[in-house]
Chain A
Amino acid sequence: MKLTLKNQIVFKSATFILAAVLIWSTSYTRDQQQLDKKKTATVELSFYKNADGDRTIVANVSTKNDSGKLVFVRGVKINFYTSALAGKSFLGEALTSEGGKASIHFPKEISTDTSGVTIIARIENDKGYEDAEAQASVKDARLVLSLSEGDSSKLISVLATEILANGKEKPIPNVEVNFGIQRLFGIMPLSDEANVTTDDRGMATFNFPKEIKGDEKGNVVLVARIIDNEVYGNVEATSISKWGEPLVVEKNPFPRALWEPRAPIILIISFSIIFGGIWFTYGFVIYQITKIEKKASA
């Protein structure tokens, strides 16, 4: 069948429109798929035990943004599980913070056995992120700090032990302990070589350095920590001692200066004289005005 010129034009136009619609719809679908596509997040687990024996599980959630940079993920729900509870493995849930952290308390009643306890953090059925999981097996450990003072040295000793299921403790050899002191915004290591490995008895010792500032009475909070250990996680012990140098507080920490909160006296005097003079003159003029009024009413 031979098409007329008019029909050819109609046919070609229809083909062109159809092709355009097809291209547009496929690209639209691709865009939509990209929009619907969930992101991948990475979950990392940490286990903390503080000096009071409180235990916390922390999940760190991060992802890569469009430029490939690792960023923390906020507002994602993390479900925490453990293998230690028979038949009831769910520990709880928490949303990640601005820094991508979600944490829950690890119940005190859960004890670890010889192989440790497995903790799991999961992203499950999240709208924006694919399911992800992190697992860690930790054993319960304890640090005990003791302080001894000689003629010229002050020694910090720490005993690292693993708490067994029956409640007994066994020394932990070859584990690195960090010594530091508590400061306002964190823990300051006592020196560059403040990491000491425990011996066979689970003992580690460290000489307290001189010239460490304490509070006004010389009090310092000594901290011994096992940091990010694969088996024991993060364990901490603290002790208060008077080994620090007493802090001499300046009576006047903010001397009068242009760059301090209190203005220099000369500035206050100059300012007061100038503006006092001006406002006194205004007062005089206003007084003259009030006299006009008084005269009128008289």
Chain B
Amino acid sequence: MEKKNEHTTVTNNNNVESIENDFLKPIGKYSPLNRFWIGFLLIIVVWGAAIYIRQIYFGLGTTAMRNYVSWGLYISTFVFFIGISHSGTLVSAILRITNKEWRRPITRSAELLTWVSLLFGGIMPIIDMGRPDRIPNLVIFGRLQSPLLWDIICIGTYFVGSSLFLYLPMIPDIALCRDRLSGNATRLRKWIYRKLSLGWQDTPGNWKRLEKGMHVMTIIIIPIAVSVHTVVGYIFAMTLRPGWNSTVFGPYFVAGALYSGSAAVVLIMAAFRRMYHLEKYITKKQFNYMGQIVLALTLIYAYFNLNEYAVPAYKMASSEGFLLHDLFSGSYSSVFWILQLGTVLVPAIILAFPKGRTPVMASIVCIIIVIGAWVKRYIIVIPTLLHPYLPIQKVPIEWSQYFPNWVEWSITFGALAGIFLVITLFAKIFPIVSIWEVKEGREIEEKYEQVDNAIKNEKENVQVATS
């Protein structure tokens, strides 16, 4: 029972009650605004799904993709979503290992973001396939030498790992929902709580199993996450094409993923802080620290950008030269420089100042970073495909240009709405903040306060005695 006390007994019982109420209050309750938001997302998702069925029926010819640009908006979005999925690993796993106390209110949402973006990120390459019914062939006839197979295996492995990593710390909270919310919950929710809580009881044995599992997952999920985005980078780098033929692509993609993923965490923090009135828990401190992390990752990302473009630009080999001229001063130059200056340099300058890391400012900067990261993936994928080693010739002029058409936008926004919808519904079924971890944090804080007070009193006593 000592173990149980360590995790659940908080000195102030009112405090415990208040924390639980704050986080359980929004569950199962749908305000008119919530209903409107869910309905709005559902319409976009259903529209996207309908257009996807249409795409399957009529073929990929209904998109703007042709022979040269066969990886268009879908694969750009795939890389972007997989990048966002690094958020959970960074915030949750790394901060757990380093035992940063301020992580406690934000780990769940970061892990959820990882899981959902991986789910939809994994769907995007399937959408890009003209014949999705042939997916089993990748497994049945897949060549282990192919980076495409590595990618499928790595993403599948990361998805299973992320599911476990999200689920494990949720078990005590689901049990709490089972015990406290069963009265007015629907039958489906009761069933979900009962099944997913695994009959959890607050016993030392259960805590021991949970901690063991979490400890292992926290360590292993970091190299898996790094490997996943490295392999996503390999899909490009192992293809002999100007702009992709680079040894730096693996770490470059990892850095880009961490940069966009950490910015996405700031956004999800800000969204739930405002929607669920969690200002008491997700404070300026979290935004300040996350802002510093985003700043560091932005600078690392800028360093990789320098490597990615400055090194080939110095040599200007003819094949790379066409692409680089197009990026630096050609048709993609405006987008390229807006991205480099507007979404890397400017955010770094803003975040360097404490006033740039307030909740509002950090959120604005992170919106810019996330949108910039998406457009950057587009800039990595499309211009290279339009600059093959063998010149484009004897094809219709439209094939040498690319801009996504309404079909691609519909399906991509459908997937994006799907991410928002799953996050919204998740937060209506489960606590979006890890309740037991926050309680544990409060307990540690109070213990520290008690120790500080004791030391302070002792010092005062000593001073009185000496005087």
B interface footprint on A53-83 (CB within 8 Å = 1, 0 otherwise): 0000000000000000000000000000000
The smallest beta-carbon distance between B165 and chain A, in angstroms, is: 9
The smallest beta-carbon distance between B143 and chain A, in angstroms, is: 7
Chain A 275-298 interface residues, beta-carbon cutoff 8 Å to B: 275, 278-279, 281-282, 284-286, 288-289, 291-293, 295-297
Known contacts A285-B216, A291-B209; decide if A296 and B153 are in contact (CB<8 Å). Answer: no
Report A-chain residues with C-beta under 8 Å of the C-beta of B15.
none
**Cβ–Cβ contact A278 & B212, under 8 A:** no
Report B-chain residues with C-beta under 8 Å of the C-beta of A267.
144-145
Per a CB cutoff under 8 Å, which of A278, A291, A297 touches B157? A278
Report B-chain residues with C-beta under 8 Å of the C-beta of A278.
157, 161, 220, 224
Q: How far is the CA of A118 from the CA of B144 in the complex (A)?
A: 62
A86: Cβ under 8 A from any B Cβ = no
Report A-chain residues with C-beta under 8 Å of the C-beta of B200.
292, 296
**Cβ–Cβ contact A285 & B201, under 8 A:** no
The smallest beta-carbon distance between A283 and chain B, in angstroms, is: 11
B198: Cβ under 8 A from any A Cβ = yes
B160: Cβ under 8 A from any A Cβ = yes
A263: Cβ under 8 A from any B Cβ = yes
Chain B 296-345 interface residues, beta-carbon cutoff 8 Å to A: none
Q: How far is the CA of A261 from the CA of B142 in the complex (A)?
A: 10
Chain B 430-465 interface residues, beta-carbon cutoff 8 Å to A: none
Known contacts A275-B153, A278-B157; decide if A289 and B198 are in contact (CB<8 Å). Answer: yes
Chain B residue with Cβ nearest A279: B157
A184: Cβ under 8 A from any B Cβ = no
The smallest beta-carbon distance between B20 and chain A, in angstroms, is: 21
Interface of B is mostly: helix
Per a CB cutoff under 8 Å, which of B145, B205, B209, B217 touches A258? B145
Report A-chain residues with C-beta under 8 Å of the C-beta of B210.
288, 292
**Cβ–Cβ contact B213 & A289, under 8 A:** yes
Report B-chain residues with C-beta under 8 Å of the C-beta of A275.
153, 157
B11: Cβ under 8 A from any A Cβ = no
**Cβ–Cβ contact B198 & A296, under 8 A:** yes
Report B-chain residues with C-beta under 8 Å of the C-beta of A279.
157
Total number of A residues with any Cβ neighbor in B under 8 Å: 24
Report B-chain residues with C-beta under 8 Å of the C-beta of A281.
216, 220
B130: Cβ under 8 A from any A Cβ = no
B168: Cβ under 8 A from any A Cβ = yes
Query: Which of A271, A282, A297 is packed against the most chain B CB atoms within 10 Å?
Result: A282
A interface footprint on B394-429 (CB within 8 Å = 1, 0 otherwise): 000000000000000000000000000000000000
Q: How far is the CA of A262 from the CA of B224 in the complex (A)?
A: 26
Q: How far is the CA of A8 from the CA of B164 in the complex (A)?
A: 90
The smallest beta-carbon distance between B135 and chain A, in angstroms, is: 19
**Cβ–Cβ contact B145 & A282, under 8 A:** no
**Cβ–Cβ contact B209 & A288, under 8 A:** yes
B206: Cβ under 8 A from any A Cβ = yes
The smallest beta-carbon distance between B192 and chain A, in angstroms, is: 15
B171: Cβ under 8 A from any A Cβ = yes
B239: Cβ under 8 A from any A Cβ = no
B9: Cβ under 8 A from any A Cβ = no
Q: How far is the CA of A281 from the CA of B160 in the complex (A)?
A: 12
Known contacts A263-B143, A278-B161, A279-B157; decide if A292 and B220 are in contact (CB<8 Å). Answer: no
**Cβ–Cβ contact B205 & A295, under 8 A:** yes
Chain A residue with Cβ nearest B217: A285
Chain A residue with Cβ nearest B144: A263
Report A-chain residues with C-beta under 8 Å of the C-beta of B39.
none
A268: Cβ under 8 A from any B Cβ = yes
A interface footprint on B135-149 (CB within 8 Å = 1, 0 otherwise): 000000001110000
**Cβ–Cβ contact A285 & B213, under 8 A:** yes
Report B-chain residues with C-beta under 8 Å of the C-beta of A297.
199
Report A-chain residues with C-beta under 8 Å of the C-beta of B220.
278, 281
**Cβ–Cβ contact B157 & A292, under 8 A:** no
Chain A residue with Cβ nearest B165: A285
The smallest beta-carbon distance between B149 and chain A, in angstroms, is: 10
Q: How far is the CA of A189 from the CA of B157 in the complex (A)?
A: 56
Report A-chain residues with C-beta under 8 Å of the C-beta of B203.
295
Chain B residue with Cβ nearest A284: B216
**Cβ–Cβ contact A288 & B198, under 8 A:** no
**Cβ–Cβ contact A285 & B168, under 8 A:** yes
**Cβ–Cβ contact B157 & A285, under 8 A:** no
Per a CB cutoff under 8 Å, which of A263, A282, A291 touches B164? A282
The smallest beta-carbon distance between B138 and chain A, in angstroms, is: 15
The smallest beta-carbon distance between A249 and chain B, in angstroms, is: 24
**Cβ–Cβ contact B209 & A263, under 8 A:** no
The smallest beta-carbon distance between B289 and chain A, in angstroms, is: 29
Chain B residue with Cβ nearest A263: B144
Q: How far is the CA of A281 from the CA of B143 in the complex (A)?
A: 25
Report B-chain residues with C-beta under 8 Å of the C-beta of A285.
164, 168, 213, 216-217
Q: How far is the CA of A284 from the CA of B164 in the complex (A)?
A: 11
The smallest beta-carbon distance between B3 and chain A, in angstroms, is: 13
Chain A 230-258 interface residues, beta-carbon cutoff 8 Å to B: 258
The smallest beta-carbon distance between A255 and chain B, in angstroms, is: 13
Per a CB cutoff under 8 Å, which of B153, B168, B201 touches A289? B168
Per a CB cutoff under 8 Å, which of B144, B213, B224 touches A288? B213
Query: Which of B144, B157, B171, B200 is packed against the most chain A CB atoms within 10 Å?
Result: B144
**Cβ–Cβ contact B164 & A292, under 8 A:** no
Chain A residue with Cβ nearest B157: A278
Q: How far is the CA of A258 from the CA of B149 in the complex (A)?
A: 13
Known contacts A278-B161, A286-B164; decide if A271 and B144 are in contact (CB<8 Å). Answer: yes
A interface footprint on B181-219 (CB within 8 Å = 1, 0 otherwise): 000000000000000001111010110011011001100
Report A-chain residues with C-beta under 8 Å of the C-beta of B209.
288-289, 291-292, 295
Q: How far is the CA of A263 from the CA of B201 in the complex (A)?
A: 49
Report A-chain residues with C-beta under 8 Å of the C-beta of B145.
258-259, 263-264, 267
Known contacts A282-B160, A282-B164; decide if A292 and B171 are in contact (CB<8 Å). Answer: yes
Per a CB cutoff under 8 Å, which of B157, B206, B216 touches A296? B206
Report B-chain residues with C-beta under 8 Å of the C-beta of A288.
209-210, 212-213
List 10 A–B pairs whose Cβ atoms lie within 8 Å, in order of A's numbering. A258-B145, A271-B144, A278-B161, A281-B220, A282-B160, A284-B213, A285-B217, A292-B171, A295-B201, A295-B203
- List 14 other contacts, CB 8 Å, given A279-B157, A289-B198, A292-B171: A261-B143, A263-B145, A264-B145, A268-B144, A281-B216, A282-B161, A282-B164, A284-B213, A285-B216, A288-B210, A291-B209, A292-B209, A295-B205, A296-B200
Give B contacts to A, CB under 8 Å. 143-145, 153, 157, 160-161, 164, 168, 171, 198-201, 203, 205-206, 209-210, 212-213, 216-217, 220, 224
Give A contacts to B, CB under 8 Å. 258-259, 261, 263-264, 267-268, 271, 275, 278-279, 281-282, 284-286, 288-289, 291-293, 295-297
